[in-house]
Structure 1
C-alpha cells in the first residue's frame, strides 16, 4: 500500500530535493506540494495525505499554525523539516514522529521514512496526534495545552483573502486597495487604517482584520498594530529586546517583544 505524501516548504528547491529523495522509496507516493500554510491547508483537504513533510519556518502561516488549523481527523503523520536551535529540537525529539535538519541528509530522510512505516504498521497515528499536541504546547509555552486551546479558527485559512478592504464612511462604502495600506492600529473599539494619503476608521477588532487580510502581506507586530510587511524599509533593534520598524513613508512603529518571532519575516 502506498503512503500518500504531501511536501510543504516555501523553498521550491527544498521541495524538489525531498521529492527526488523520496522517489527512491517505491511505497511513497507524493500526491502534492505546497509553498505555504494556506496552500497546505487546502492540499490536505483535497489529497488526504497519510504523511506530511512540513517546513516549520514559513512566512505568513507557519507550520505550527497550520497544524492547529487542520481538523484532527485529517491530520497526517508529520515529519518536521527545521533549522531550529537545540532547545527547540528537544521538543521535536520528544514529541514528533521525526524531524529533519536542513540541509537534509539522505540517510536521515531514509530513517524518517522507516519510522513512518513502523508507526503505520503499529497503528499509532492517534498517539502521534497526542505527541503533536504536546509539541504545540511546548513551543507555545503552554505545556498543559488542551485540544480546544490548540485549535485555531480555520476560517482564516479557508476564506479567500481580500484585495480591497470595505470601509463605511459618512453613508458611503469605500473599497480601499490593500496594497495601499501601510499599517493599522487600534483606537478603542475602532481600527485606524492608514494609507499613504488618508486615515480611515472602521469598527472592528484586530482578530477580524487579521482574518480578512493576507498573512503573507500583513502581520501583527503589537497587540494593537498590524503592518504591511512589504512597506517596511528598515528594522532597528532596541535595548530592551523590542524593535522599531521604519516604513517607506517614514512612519516608525514598535515591534513588541511578544511578537519578536515576526522579525524573521522582515529580513
Structure 2
C-alpha cells in the first residue's frame, strides 16, 4: 500500500534532504512539498495526503497552527510526523499524545521507525484516533500561548499542560463554598451571575462566562452555546430534532440546547 505523503518545511535544504530519504521507501508516494504553513493549509485539502511531515517552527503559520487551521476549516487531518530542530529532551513533551517526530538532521533509523508507525496506524485504521490526539495537542499547547510554547521548546525548557483547579471557590456573602469541579454538571448565565449546577444544588457566583470558561479544563467541559458550559462526563445523549436543532440530555434528565456555532465541537467532544 502506497502512503501518499506531503513535506511541509520552510527550509529548502531540509525539504530536499527529507525527500531524498523518503525516495528510498517503496511504500512512500511523495505528492509534493510546501514551503510554509499557509501553502500547507491550501494544499492538504486538495491532495488529501495520508501523511504529512510537518515542520513545527515556520513563518506565517507554525506547525501547530496548521493543524488548528485545518480543524477550523473542517478539513480531514492527516497523520502528522513533526520535523523539528528542537532538542530531543524538550520534544518528548509530545510523547504523552502518542505523536511521532523526527529531529533535524533526519536520522535514517528514526525515520524508518516513524514510517513503520504510520503503516501501523493505517493498517489498524486508527486515523480517527490520531486526529483526536492531534486535536487534544492543539487544545493543550496552542492558542494565545502558542509562540511561548515554541520559545520554551527552542530553549529546551520543560513543557507542561495547563493546570486547571480541582475546586471552584464560590463566594456567597460572608461564606465561601468549595465545590469540586468534577461534581459540576453544567453552568449557565443568568444576567451578571453564573449558575453552577451540581447533582443536588445550584450555586450562584458573580463571574463572567469567559472567566469561568478559562478555569475549566477544555478536555472535560464544552461550551454548548454562548451562555452555557457542560461537563461531558454527565452527558447521556445527543439528540437531533426534525427542526435541525440538537439537544444534550444529561444524566440527571436536564436538557440543554446546542447552538449551531458550537455543534461541531460538542460532537467532537462526545466522540473522544
Q: TM-score, length-normalised on structure 1?
A: 0.51
Paired residue for 1:94? 96
Partner of residue 159, structure 1 = none
Q: Report what 2:24 is aligned to.
A: 24
Q: Measured at CA, do residues 148 and 8 of structure 1 come closer, stay the same or move farther in structure 2, by a change above 3 Å? A: farther
Q: Distance in 1 between matches of 2:55 and 2:118?
A: 17
Cα 1:41–1:96, aligned 2, differ >3 Å: closer, same or farther? Answer: farther
Give the match's secondary structure for 2:59: coil
| Worse-matched range after superposition: 72-81 or 30-39 | 72-81
- Superposition deviation, residue 39 in structure 1: 0.4
Q: What is the rounded CA distance, in whole Å, between the counterparts of 2:44 and 2:221 in structure 1?
A: 20
Q: Distance in 2 between matches of 1:69 and 1:16?
A: 26
Distance (whole Å) between structure 2 residues aligned to residue 67 and residue 96 of structure 1: 16
1:146-157 matches, within 5 Å, as: none
Establish whether residue 60 from structure 1 lines up as the match of residue 74 from structure 2: no
How is 1:1-267 mapped onto 2 (pairs within 5 angstroms)?
1-71=1-71, 72-85=74-87, 88-140=90-142, 142=162, 144-145=217-218
- Structure 1 runs of 4+ aligned residues shifted over 6 Å read none
2:105 is paired with a residue whose SS is coil
Q: 1: distance between equivalents of 2:98 and 2:30?
A: 21
Listed one character per residue, the Cα deviations across residues 20-62 of structure 1 (whole Å, up to 9, x for unaligned) are 1111111110101101110001110111101000000001211
For the residue of structure 1 that corresponds to 2:7, the secondary structure is strand
Task: Indicate the structure (1 or 2) with the bigger Cα radius of gyration.
Answer: 2
Q: Say which SS state the counterpart of residue 123 (structure 1) adopts.
A: coil
Structure 1 residues 107 and 56: alpha-carbon distance in aligned structure 2, compared to 1, 3 A threshold: same
Deviation at 1:96, TM superposition (A): 4.3
Over the residues paired in the alignment, what is the CA RMSD in angstroms?
2.3
Question: d(CA) in 2 for partners of 1:129 and 1:100?
Answer: 19
Q: Distance in 1 between matches of 2:46 and 2:7?
A: 14
Could you tell me which residue of structure 2 aligns to residue 190 of structure 1? none
Deviation at 1:91, TM superposition (A): 2.7
Deviation at 1:148, TM superposition (A): 11
**2:264 maps to what in 1?**
none
Equivalent residues, number? 149
Residue 10 of structure 1 contacts residue 34 of structure 1 at CA under 8 Å; is this kept in 2?
yes
Greater mean deviation of Cα atoms: 123-132 or 89-98: 89-98
Structure 2 vs 1, CA of residues 129 and 91 (structure 1 numbering), >3 Å: closer, same or farther?
Answer: farther
Q: Structure 1: any 5+ residue segments left out of the alignment?
A: 150-267
2-side partners of 1:53 and 1:4: how far apart?
A: 11
Q: Give unmatched runs, 5+ long, in structure 2.
A: 143-160, 164-216, 223-272
Distance in 2 of aligned mates of 1:50 and 1:146: 26
Query: What CA distance in whole angstroms lies between the structure 2 residues aligned with 1:91 and 1:63?
Result: 15
Partners of 1:147 and 1:55 in 2: CA distance: 30
Q: Distance in 1 between matches of 2:65 and 2:95?
A: 20
> Secondary structure of the equivalent of 1:53?
strand
Provide the C-alpha distance between the structure 2 equivalents of 1:8 and 1:25, rounded to a whole number of angstroms: 18
TM norm structure 2: 0.50
CA 1:148–1:46 in structure 2 vs 1: closer, same or farther (change >3 Å)?
farther
